[in-house]
């Protein structure tokens, strides 16, 4: 069974760890506890995950962790992932998402390259999308450092992969929804599907800008964790999009309130993966 080193023990990393443990794998979950409390991992630690403190900005520490754990795969999920925090904490966002990614690449290269899976974002294509989006679409204009840094992260990992013969998969994740072992309570951390589900259940109005016409690509946490877990990088670098469907924000609101969705998503995503969850089923009440 595979031994995974998961850098970033947050919302997605914890769900990936749970999936790997269920499959009989070994898991090392590493984090600097910037956005996640270590105690949130107590349940996974009790199930056998090795929960460790590591900052991806510390190249020597990352290399030491690779030496100590000898993983079959590295999943790079550690990031300052919040758009609002990227505005209030730009230096930290860059230090982790830019310098940190490069230092992980250096450490992986120095260790002879365990295959690496990088959690990127569907946002690398920009925001004004139409037609069918596929992984060969060029990068688009970015509106914040959390997403701009994903473009750098992808290109930096490509550079190191080419220079050192590393195996890398870039997974461009849509907005992830659903419950898991780690759910952040802080304001603004829930993505729109879960936020609308909670507001609708409480009978509150659902706030959205621009009439909710914005289209989002979305994927349920269980599907996301399975796709990450089953991802085994081969030689070279490949990029894949991870979104089960695209939907307008207005339709997320309609489904959360039990109304019929109007349709009209501005783009679709061509993804090579199978998905078992849809927003309509998740929000059905």
Among positions 55, 223, 241, 251, the unique one binding ligand NAD when judged by CB under 6 A: 55
H or E, element range at 66: helix 59-69
By CB under 6 A, is residue 33 in contact with ligand NAD?
A: yes
Q: Tell me the two tokens of residue 184.
A: 């952040």
Q: Which is nearer to ligand NAD, 80 or 271 (by Cβ)? A: 80
Q: Which is nearer to ligand NAD, 33 or 273 (by Cβ)? A: 33
- Cross-strand partners of 50: 28
Give dist(CA 220, CA 112) in Å, integer.
34
Strand, coil or helix: 88: helix
Strand, coil or helix: 244: coil
Dump the DSSP string for 167-213.
EEEEEEE-EEES--S----STT-S-HHHHHHHHHHTT-----SGGG-
- Cross-strand partners of 246: 217
Give the nearest distance from C-beta 50 to ligand NAD in angstroms.
15
Binding segment for ligand NAD (CB under 6 A), chosen from 29-37, 65-73, 227-235, 274-282, is: 29-37
Among positions 26, 34, 45, 109, the unique one binding ligand NAD when judged by CB under 6 A: 34
By CB under 6 A, is residue 57 in contact with ligand NAD?
A: yes
Residues 80-139 binding ligand NAD (CB under 6 A) are: 80-81, 96, 100, 119, 121
Give the nearest distance from C-beta 150 to ligand NAD in angstroms.
7
**Residue ranges in contact with ligand NAD by CB under 6 A:** 8-13, 31-36, 54-57, 77-81, 96, 100, 119, 121, 173, 175-176, 184, 191
């Amino acid at each position: 069974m595979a031994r995974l080193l998961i850098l970033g023990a947050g919302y997605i990393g914890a769900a990936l760890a749970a999936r790997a443990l269920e499959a009989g794998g070994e898991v090392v979950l590493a984090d600097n506890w910037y956005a996640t409390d270590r105690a949130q991992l107590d349940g996974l630690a009790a199930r056998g995950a090795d929960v460790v403190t590591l900052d991806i900005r510390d190249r020597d520490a990352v290399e030491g962790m690779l030496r100590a754990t000898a993983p079959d795969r590295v999943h790079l999920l550690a990031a300052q992932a919040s758009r609002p925090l990227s505005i209030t904490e730009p230096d930290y966002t860059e230090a982790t998402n830019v310098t940190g990614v490069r230092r992980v690449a250096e450490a992986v290269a120095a260790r002879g390259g365990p295959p690496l899976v990088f959690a990127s974002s569907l946002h690398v294509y920009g925001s004004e999308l139409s037609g069918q989006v596929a992984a060969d679409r060029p990068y688009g204009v970015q509106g914040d450092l959390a997403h701009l840094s994903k473009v750098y992260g992808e290109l930096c990992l490509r550079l190191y992969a080419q220079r050192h013969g590393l195996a890398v998969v870039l997974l461009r994740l849509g907005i992830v929804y659903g419950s898991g072992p780690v759910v952040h309570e802080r304001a603004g951390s829930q993505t729109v599907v879960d936020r609308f589900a909670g507001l609708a259940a409480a009978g509150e109005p659902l706030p959205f800008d621009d009439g909710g016409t914005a289209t989002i690509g979305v994927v349920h946490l269980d599907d996301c964790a399975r796709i990450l877990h089953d991802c085994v990088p081969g030689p070279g670098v490949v990029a894949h999009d991870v979104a089960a469907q695209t939907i307008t924000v207005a339709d997320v609101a309609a489904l959360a309130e039990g109304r019929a969705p109007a349709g009209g998503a501005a783009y679709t995503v061509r993804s090579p993966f199978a998905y078992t969850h849809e927003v309509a089923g998740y929000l059905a009440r």
